[in-house]
């Protein structure tokens, strides 16, 4: 495992170097000051924030934390962003973001292969984040958020969607290949456009909708030609997409222009959603899978493939890398502009697919490779089109 992870660390660094033009301070400084208000919602939590919180109000910042296509505004101080240290810092953030993301997908898939209990594993992964941010709050290393009952009620629907994003992705990874799950996840912009149109009445220019065609076509081709295709993997990945889009819509409707508690910056918002999602997942996990995880754990150890320590470590590593790749995303994407975000996110998905194919020796047909390439290119074009519209 150590050798594999070293290879993937090198892969992440190579990918970062290949796209260094996008990660440089000069590229980051292209963004205008108005980019802090870009809120194309959906996607992973919370890739578009960081330094923007020093420049926006608390309400707009927490709303922006659920954006998927907008990057934080770059600093207007060109002199501070033009040095080599800044470039290396941003490149390191991106490398860690990729590395943790690759690690999560590998650890997650290995755990699911050993234990077919996706709801329980998703709950463990979500709960692991609590071991990270609660000590930071208790030790005063990070200001703890202060929320009222009404604040928690406001966040509850968003937390439900956050739960759906994660559990849908975990089930998809367990039911099919990692590469296929990410191919389907590439279709999230299609769902986001539909949700925004139906629930917010948002009508976008035709050029944005045109970019959805290669996404739809690419995913369709990849699904038809995917050797590891299962209906459950497709449905679960789409559940994750729908939940992500609804999370963005709900955040825009309920949080924009409204102050939510105190000290609720992007990182604390993600922490609160993690805690709430854990509480939501526990009864759902028990209702769907019961306590069958524990005898399955013992059986896996008895089979000789794992020890109690190695299997427990695998589960904890899955949870730790899940939380950390989102945490590092704050640092990485908070320093770059939306175009860089789009490029970085696209490269990340390609790196994960390639890494998973190498790690698990998952065969991909020619049609699946072509379809996934078209779909991923479509997501990049979509992000660029959305960014041009919002300027």
pLDDT tens profile 131-189 = 999 999 999 999 999 999 999 999 999 999 999 999 999 999 898 888 788 788 888 88
Q: How far does the chain reach from its first CA to its final CA, in angstroms?
A: 45
Q: How confident is the model at residue 41 (pLDDT cuts 50, 70, 90)?
A: very low
Bridge partner list, 262? 146
What one-character-per-residue DSSP string does 275-289 give? Answer: HHHHHHHHHHHHHHH
Q: What is the pLDDT of residue 291?
A: 94
The answer to whether residues 315 and 121 touch, using CB atoms and an 8 Å cutoff, is yes
Higher pLDDT, 148 or 335: 148
Q: How confident is the model at residue 228 (pLDDT cuts 50, 70, 90)?
A: low
Higher pLDDT, 124 or 377: 124
Model confidence at 258: pLDDT above 60: yes
61-70, 143-152, 257-266, 314-323: the lowest-pLDDT one: 61-70
Sign, Cα dihedral of 15, 21, 26, 31: negative
* pLDDT more than 90, % of the chain: 33
Model confidence at 70: pLDDT above 70: no
User: What DSSP character marks residue 41?
Assistant: B
For range 330-355, the mean pLDDT? 71
Averaged confidence pLDDT in the chain: 77
Q: What is the pLDDT of residue 253?
A: 80
Contacts of 77 (CB under 8 A, 6+ apart): none
Give the Å distances, CA to CA, from 29 to 38, 68, 335: 16, 20, 9
Most confident of 35-49, 141-155, 188-202: 141-155
Model confidence at 25: pLDDT above 70: no
104-113, 193-202, 355-364: the lowest-pLDDT one: 355-364
The answer to whether residues 339 and 165 touch, using CB atoms and an 8 Å cutoff, is no
């Amino acid at each position: 495992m150590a050798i594999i992870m070293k290879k993937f660390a090198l892969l992440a660094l190579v990918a970062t170097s290949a796209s260094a033009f996008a990660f440089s301070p000069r590229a980051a400084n292209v963004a205008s000051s108005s980019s802090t208000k870009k809120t194309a919602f959906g996607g992973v939590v919370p890739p578009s924030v960081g330094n923007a919180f020093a420049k926006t109000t608390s309400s707009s910042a927490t709303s922006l934390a659920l954006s998927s296509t907008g990057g934080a505004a770059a600093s207007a101080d060109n002199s501070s962003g033009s040095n080599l240290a800044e470039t290396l810092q941003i490149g390191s953030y991106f490398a860690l973001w990729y590395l943790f993301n690759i690690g999560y997908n590998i650890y997650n898939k290995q755990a699911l292969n050993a234990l077919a209990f996706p709801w329980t594993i998703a709950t463990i992964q979500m709960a692991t984040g609590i071991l990270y941010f609660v000590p930071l709050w208790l030790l005063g290393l990070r200001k703890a958020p202060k929320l009222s009952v009404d604040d928690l009620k406001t966040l509850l629907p968003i937390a439900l969607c956050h739960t759906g994003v994660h559990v849908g992705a975990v089930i998809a990874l367990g039911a099919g290949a990692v590469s296929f799950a990410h191919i389907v996840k590439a279709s999230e912009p299609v769902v986001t456009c539909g949700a925004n149109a139906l629930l917010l009445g948002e009508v976008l220019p035709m050029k944005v909708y045109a970019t959805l065609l290669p996404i739809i076509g690419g995913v369709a081709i990849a699904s038809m030609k995917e050797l590891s295709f299962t209906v459950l993997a497709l449905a679960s990945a789409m559940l994750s997409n729908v939940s992500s889009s609804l999370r963005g819509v709900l955040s825009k409707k309920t949080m924009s222009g409204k102050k939510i508690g105190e000290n609720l910056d992007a990182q604390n918002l993600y922490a609160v959603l993690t805690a709430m999602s854990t509480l939501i997942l526990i009864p759902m996990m028990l209702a769907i899978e019961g306590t069958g995880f524990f005898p399955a754990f013992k059986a896996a150890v008895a089979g000789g493939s794992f020890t109690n320590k190695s299997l427990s470590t695998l589960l904890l590593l899955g949870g730790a890398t899940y939380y950390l790749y989102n945490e590092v995303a704050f640092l990485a994407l908070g320093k770059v502009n939306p175009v860089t975000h789009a490029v970085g996110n696209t490269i990340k998905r390609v790196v994960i697919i390639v890494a998973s194919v190498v790690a698990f020796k998952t065969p991909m047909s020619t049609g699946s490779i072509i379809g996934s390439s078209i779909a991923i290119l479509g997501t990049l074009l979509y992000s660029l089109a959305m960014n041009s519209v919002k300027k």
